[in-house]
Amino acid sequence: MDIKSAIYKTSANALKDCPMQEIPEYAFIGRSNVGKSSLINMLVQKRELARTSNTPGKTISMNFFLINDEWNIVDLPGYGYARRSKTLRSTWEKTLLAYLQKREVLVCLFVLIDSRIEPQKSDLDFITFLGEKAIPFCIVFTKLDKIKPAEAETNIEQFCTKLLEDWEELPKIFKTSSLDRTGREELLKYITKLNKDFAKIQKQKDVQLR
């Protein structure tokens, strides 16, 4: 897939404020400082589309980016630690749950996991929640350039082993680096496939409504 255009569309703090578009949507989420904004920028090859920061919890709303005038990327607030009040974090959680469970055009949620660290309870718990609610998702391991390959593979293997304690099979997994663009082609190829599937489903719905 060629990225011909990538523009900031809008931000939303509630489900009702999300864009009213019948186009496929792909959301990205992870613990604070997992490299989410850097990954989005790498995917669309636009350095400052999504804001990056060394301050955990920088994203405080759902940020929508229109790609190729055909589909949306959504930069979601991180889960886990953030330098914000408990009240604000509680509000984020309610908004996030509403979005994940009720946003009809959400095709896939990409859950970002830091490859540099051992399995974290917050990541595992969040993935368990997604499974319980039947929310479609993939796992994206980030920052492979910041760790030795053998160490990254060990951490990824440990994470997958922990998942298999409760899952019969693993979700689709991507390994990425925003620095050297590892995983970019694979992610965009997968999104291309999902876009085609979405178009087929929409066409079937249109036929049924006639």
CA 184 to chain centre: 14
pLDDT of residue 54: 45
Q: Are 134 and 124 within 8 A, CB to CB? A: no
* pTM for the whole structure: 0.91
Residue 100 vs residues 64, 79, 95, 159: alpha-carbon distances, Å = 14, 13, 9, 23
- Domains in the chain (CATH in brackets) are 6-203 (3.40.50.300)
Q: Could you state, in chain order, the average pLDDT of each consecutive group of 10 residues for the chain (210 residues)?
A: 92 92 95 90 88 52 94 88 61 86 96 95 93 95 95 96 92 95 96 94 74
